A and B are shown apart, each in its own frame.
Chain A
Amino acid sequence: MILDFSVIWENLPLYFNGVLVTLKLLLISLAVGLTVAVPLALMRVSRQPAVNFPAWLYTYVIRGTPMLVQLFLIYYGLAQFAAVRESFLWPYFSNATFCACLAFAINTSAYTAEILAGSLKATPHGEIEAAKAVGMSRFKLYRRILLPSALRRALPQYSNEVIMMLHTTSLASIVTLVDITGAARTVSSQYYLPFEAYITAGVFYLCLTFVLVRLFKRAERRWLGYMAPRKA
């Protein structure tokens, strides 16, 4: 037999630990990223250049450079500065998990901000006019009308972003973390079975992707039900 999966079978616990690490990285970066993305999106829809421009520049630069470069800039790059090495933040910046989460969160915040801004801009005029007509303040208008509706309508695109982020977390293995890809790398180098090791990692990611797609389908049915085509 050309392929030998017995070693993979023995090392499954390593892969399952990797799944936990991957999910941890994914959840932290998505949570932080989404929190940052909401104010950024609000800046992006502003008509004042002084507010819009910084947010535009941020998303443009982040979306225009590879994730790997951003990760290396934070993990390896910052150590170049003595000020960083001597600051109280150094324990964080010398930690691979922290740096990976930070880099991923920054990355997803830029993409998510653009998705949300697009969704905010697509709000029907009538809804905003109606809110103004009943005398809502600007803050109330955003809180009650614009954001809830924009966040819902952003769901289909956001699900793509989440799956992209799941795939992005594999870069964490390059900065020594043992996520699913990291587990595969360990197995590959220990037993010299790269094909079996990586194909197993691929299967794990494929399963996670399918689960996420399912979850988002459900979320869409729950929160976007009003937009679904009418059943005959």
Chain B
Amino acid sequence: MLNGYGSTIVDGAWLTLLLALTSMAVAILLGLLGAAFRLSPIKWLALLGDAYATVIRGIPDLVLILLIFYGGQDIVNRVAPMLGYEDYIEIDAFAAGVGTLGFIFGAYLSETFRGAFMAIPKGQGEAGAAYGMSGVQVFFRILVPQMIRFAIPGFTNNWLVLTKATALISVVGLQDMMFKAKSAADATREPFTFYLAVAALYLVLTSVSLLALRFLEKRYSVGVKAAEL
């Protein structure tokens, strides 16, 4: 299939999926942290969280990717000799991709999570505190499980955007399906065929995600009565 390039593109597709999933895991951690910061009563923490969300969301993904991948590598290699480290340090494209996408989408998710936390009735957290739970316990036992339901629609959106943003990591040399398609296109001079194949694969990925997350939303809303019009 595809002049024998079919299997390499499928390999690339697995890497794309792996990149998306790993980045999302990082993004969820950073998003929770960001949301906790922004909702914190401690002023400078809230300010720090707000700055993170505002600055990252105001800069294009591509610029951040180039900045972190090339710029980050550059800075690391400028600082390293001062610390007595002489070898050239090369950052792995996959690790850089995960770090960058995680960092970017952490900012977007912090916004989603913040809104979801605020949607939880205040009494819930107060009741937890009344039972003698610590702040951390209230956060993980009471707030997070309830927040998930409110966060799913925004999360779905962010996941879809992130999946599509993985294509940009091919620009810094990660051999994902976009990169593989480009090599195949250059070799066979049939760019349309290969980019169309990649587009179809992305469409499958986003369609499956949509269905799965819709199912998840139903699961988390089982105990909630929908108002009928």
Contacts and interface: CB of A to CB of B under 8 A. Distances in A.
Interface in A50-87: 61, 63-70, 72-73, 76-81
Interface residues of B, number: 42
B66 A194 contact: yes
Contacts of B62: 167, 170-171, 173-174, 181
Contact of A69 (B64, B70, B171, B195): B195
A188 B70 contact: yes
B66 A65 contact: no
Interface SS, B side: helix
Contacts of A201: 63, 67
A195 to B, nearest CB: 3
Contacts of A136: none
A80 B63 contact: no
A180 B62 CA distance: 11
B191 A168 contact: no
27 contacts: A64-B207, A66-B167, A66-B168, A68-B167, A68-B170, A69-B195, A69-B198, A69-B199, A70-B199, A73-B195, A76-B185, A79-B191, A80-B193, A166-B60, A167-B59, A170-B60, A170-B61, A170-B62, A174-B171, A194-B70, A194-B74, A195-B70, A201-B63, A202-B64, A205-B58, A205-B63, A206-B58
Contacts of A81: 192
A90 interface: no
Nearest to B194: A77
Nearest to A72: B195
Contacts of A198: 63, 66-67, 70-71
The residue among A2, A166, A167 with the most chain B CB atoms within 10 A of its own CB is A167
Give me the 7 closest cross-chain CB pairs, A-B, nearest first.
Answer: A195-B71, A77-B192, A167-B60, A194-B70, A198-B67, A66-B167, A170-B60
Contacts of B202: 64-66, 69
B164 interface: yes
Interface in B68-115: 70-75, 78-79
B71 A77 contact: no
B187 to A, nearest CB: 13
Contacts of A77: 191-192, 195-196
Contact of B199 (A65, A76, A170, A196): A65
B199 A2 contact: no
A209 B171 contact: no
Contacts of A76: 185, 191-192, 195
Contacts of B170: 68
